[in-house]
Structure 1
């Protein structure tokens, strides 16, 4: 009976340990405005999405663009993201380009993991390959960039390939552990072919 009680207490302790992380990891309320209502959007072509939200930085606008004709065998493709605060202050941008089969935007997530009233923006996308694709998660908070880069797909033997590096360029090494855990979970949920 004592062992069962200890196990039960341990399970409760583990649940209580992880509970604060799930409470803190809150999504940011955002909206997708009409392009005519976003003066910043007028200077961009090939807009995929525009997101707006408010946090302690004030008004935020995220504009995602991709050159026409991306993917499906075309020679060139790009994906760009621009984060503005206020009316026209560019906080950061992402520009990725690939000569090949194209780039596919997979997911955008706005969260406030560290509960500091400043959104973290996670952008996940695939640079398509014939069987193995390059995949990336780029996270920004307060102008700081973190990245997970890797590969996913099935090789010629129909074996799952799932690789990632979060400690290379724009490393998560200096990031808060809550950022690392959340980003790796998001990346794995999107790209881990072992979980299919």
Structure 2
């Protein structure tokens, strides 16, 4: 009885904070029907409308590309996928792809640590899938391109800006962002969550 009450409390707590119950998956737990490119960074599944949903994020890491007379270029790519698996059939709902390619300098395309999340902030039973990542090709200390991407079903929301970098004790650059029209005109809870996520990540640069 006590165990049952504990489970109910956990589930209530998850929904109170807009979190859907999700299961984190290892590489071996991902169904073979789900195809992806790169190294797995996050893999989760959850139940929505009696269907099993999967979200997977991957990175290629830095790899060599074609060069020129001045040297070798380097590349980095990242991907995110949302699949529904029904019996033996698989449906790809959406895919995110971004990259930094043909870079002769320092290259980056990487998801932000601890930013990936599955929520149901508006409590309509449809998951919101949150991604945050940076891409960059630079030879100095300068802000990277930073993005927050959120999907609710097939609808995309995006917040785009620059990462925050520190040059000295009092000199910083970047950290600004611009929400797209879906964030500006959509449910205020979505924009609020995106803003807090952005501020949490940028505040780590002190």
- Is TM (by shorter chain) over 0.5? yes
Is residue 94 of structure 2 the alignment partner of residue 92 of structure 1? yes
Q: How far did residue 178 of structure 1 move?
A: 1.1
Matched residue, 1:54: 47
Scaled by the length of structure 2, the TM-score of the pair is: 0.71
Q: 1:69 to 1:172 in 2, by over 3 A?
A: same
Q: 1:70 to 1:141 in 2, by over 3 A?
A: farther
Structure having the higher strand fraction is 2
Q: Contact between 2:48 and 2:126, CA under 8 Å: does it hold in 1?
A: yes
Which runs of structure 1 show a deviation greater than 4 angstroms over 4 or more consecutive aligned residues? none
Matched residue, 2:177: 164
Matched residue, 1:104: 110
Scaled by the length of structure 1, the TM-score of the pair is: 0.75
- RMSD of aligned alpha carbons: 2.7
Q: How far did residue 113 of structure 1 move?
A: 0.1
Q: Distance in 1 between matches of 2:111 and 2:154?
A: 21
Q: How far did residue 78 of structure 1 move?
A: 1.0
Q: Contact between 1:134 and 1:150, CA under 8 Å: does it hold in 2?
A: yes
Q: Contact between 1:149 and 1:164, CA under 8 Å: does it hold in 2?
A: yes
Q: 1:182 to 1:24 in 2, by over 3 A?
A: farther
**What is the number of equivalent residue pairs in this alignment?**
170
| Structure 1 segments unaligned to the other structure (5+ residues) | 1-22
Structure having the higher helix fraction is 1
